[in-house]
Amino acid sequence: MKSYHHKYYTPKHPVSARPMGELAGFPVRPGMFDINGATALPLGVNFTIHTHGGTSCELLIFHREEQEPYAVLPFPEEYKIGDVYSMIVFGLDIEEFEYAYRVDGPNCPEKGLTFDKNAVLLDPYAKAVVGQSVWGQRQKNSYHARVVADVFDWGEMPQSKRSMSDLIIYELHVRGFTRHESSGVQHKGTFAGLKEKIPYLKELGINAVELMPIFEFDETLNLREVDGKKLLEYWGYNTVSFFAPNTSYTAAVEYNKEGQELKELIKALHENGIEVILDVVFNHTAEGNEKGPLFSFKGLDNNVYYMLTPDGNYYNFSGCGNTLNCNHPVVRQMILECLRYWTVSYRVDGFRFDLASILGRNADGSPLNNPPLLEALANDPVLSNVKLIAEAWDAGGMYQVGSFPASRRWAEWNGRYRDSLRGFLKGDCWNAWDAAWSIAGSGDLYGGYPSEYKGEYAGYNSCVNFLTCHDGFTLYDLYAYNEKHNEMNGWNNTDGSNDNRSWNCGIEGETDNQDVLNLRYRMIRNAFAVLMCSRGTPMFLAGDEFGNTQYGNNNCYCQDNEYSWLDWNYLNKNRDLFEFCKFMIGFRHRHRIIREKLPDAVLGMEPLLAHGVYAEDVNIPRDARTFSISFAGYDREKGRDDMVYVSVNTYWEDVEITLPQIKGRWYLNVNTYGDGNGRYCYPEHEQRRIDGNFVLRPRSVAVFTAREY
């Protein structure tokens, strides 16, 4: 490379801006080796990339939307420190180019080496990906990246200090939430469309949204057609780039300002008291197995980024073809940098980790006792106030609910809660003990009853209770179908879980039978009331509050259509259900005792108890069909006791219960059976006083509170 003399620049930047040479007509110099990715500078762009096994690296510069590079810049050896190549290229305008890399090296798949000097590689640290901005349009050529100008002004917006136990999490799919014609928004299926729905979210009362994957993914990865319908990877669990937002979720084209619309959404949500949790997928990528494409990690360091068998094949603990080697130091650093980036640049409040048990596996797939990645995330100073939520299992058989490493920092999706309450609420009485433990906060998983274990109970911030999520039946379908109906997915109904613990209430699927419909909606009210009155953090699937259906499909991962999109017509049709759910959410907000331990009550109740049909009987049978859970404490902020008594009757006949004797009176707040006139809830000024006994109607839930005389 010939010497290149250029005017000496002195911008306000930590490195000298004097070019040291020329490549492909561009003045260049060694770059900032410790800053990964492509970074805009006052006079050019810094490019940094690393490869352990690669022998050489080229930077490719493209005109926008062109497939042939107009400049190829080989990194000189003097622009390399260790495994890191870094170069500042002067004179580049970030609005005029795209970039990628080529890396040469040995190609020996049986040793895990898959270098290809002709493959165009996407920067793993790319902040924006080209070619994915039109939803459903197949990527015809190689992926390119763009440099992003991060000019968004967050002002003085403080980070949320809300505890996990105070959250009510609402899981949604950005596209599916507003894509249906009935959504009534201008920008359907986009971040902007979701922003238009903030008034609805506020009315409902939730204070956190959990967004299904919004990192750049390829929805056309396994594009196919079944019965004339185009099926896509709709959910988004096939990540292309971990640092880039999905550009097909934007209403506007954001050249070099990718992420602007998402940041505007997050800022608006924060301004309305709603936190943002991202569903992140660090267990696999869209590169798949041996037959999958090579567009990034495989061409940089295949045997570093992926777990490989001794003969070079891919371990598949994710069930999606490959498994990220999360505890390799290089991968661990990338994940940590990624989460820091989303926390700082996007002000994200939390992360839910898909198949998080993979994050605790060694390179050979074996479980680690103290996984370095999990400890690093748990103790990172930037992430110290961020919620970390684990789906504490994986497709390789590891199940860690109640025992996820670093659990006092991490929360878990409580799969035991889902399974036991689904079973018990539909009448599986043998689940009574597990159901009672679950409503009470799953103390058997997270450290016992708070009243007995003096600070050892971790469930307040470690337990995420849920009955439904994206993966499985909606709450309506849980009581409308005995069996899954996934035929439209094209796999002869073999995909999706067979363990649904559902009940169709007498007729499979859609029906006009009013008795069946009445029972279904009562069962939905039962489930939602119990969820909101359970200790731990509640989460539910968007649309459950108004009876949205997926028509019995419990695995809508490929359905970008009316099976997955929320049909907002149900909001008007089932307005009474929406109002009930809104009341229960408000009830939870008003009663701290459900969410946390308070000082002892003065009206004579233990902090937490399970009760049989008779309140004084605190040992419920294993096969009980009816039981109650009580929470009691003194709320200093309100200057009075906060006492909640939740009674659940899964029996098909009336059951008379007694309420505890206290130095006060009990009042009925909720009766899911109703009063015969369509009333199920009683606000504080309209509560019904209950003296001693109460008749729980068939398959119903009642919620009581207490006051002084």
Residue numbers annotated as active site: 354, 391
Contacts with 77 (C-beta within 8 Å, 6 or more apart), sequence order: none
The angle that helices 432-439 and 415-425 make with each other, rounded to 10 degrees, is 120
Give the span between the Cα atoms of 267 and 154, in whole angstroms: 7
Contact 64, 105 (CB under 8 A): no
Give the span between the Cα atoms of 69 and 60, in whole angstroms: 6
**What ranges make up the beta strands (E) of 354-510?**
387-390, 411-413, 463-466
Q: What is the DSSP letter of 50?
A: E
Determine the 3-state secondary structure of 558 from DSSP: helix
Of 397, 391, 323, 334, give the one whose Cα is nearest residue 362. Answer: 323
Q: How many CB atoms lie within 10 A of CB 708?
A: 11
Contact 28, 89 (CB under 8 A): yes
Give the span between the Cα atoms of 524 and 701, in whole angstroms: 11
Q: Report which residue type is found at 683.
A: P
Calculate the alpha carbon distances from 567 to 198, 336, 350 in Å: 17, 38, 28
User: How far does the chain reach from its first CA to its final CA, in angstroms?
Assistant: 90
Give the span between the Cα atoms of 57 and 104, in whole angstroms: 6
Q: 537 in the Ramachandran plot: left (φ > 0), alpha (ψ -120 to 50) or beta? A: beta
Q: 198 in the Ramachandran plot: left (φ > 0), alpha (ψ -120 to 50) or beta? A: alpha
Q: 275-280 and 84-90 as β-strands: parallel, antiparallel, unpaired?
A: unpaired
Give the span between the Cα atoms of 681 and 669, in whole angstroms: 6
Calculate the alpha carbon distances from 622 to 244, 428, 619 in Å: 50, 11, 9
CA Rg, the chain, in Å? 28
Give the span between the Cα atoms of 359 and 324, in whole angstroms: 8
Structure tokens at 532: 């909101």
* Dihedral, CA of residue 604, residue 606, residue 608 and residue 613, to nearest 10: -70
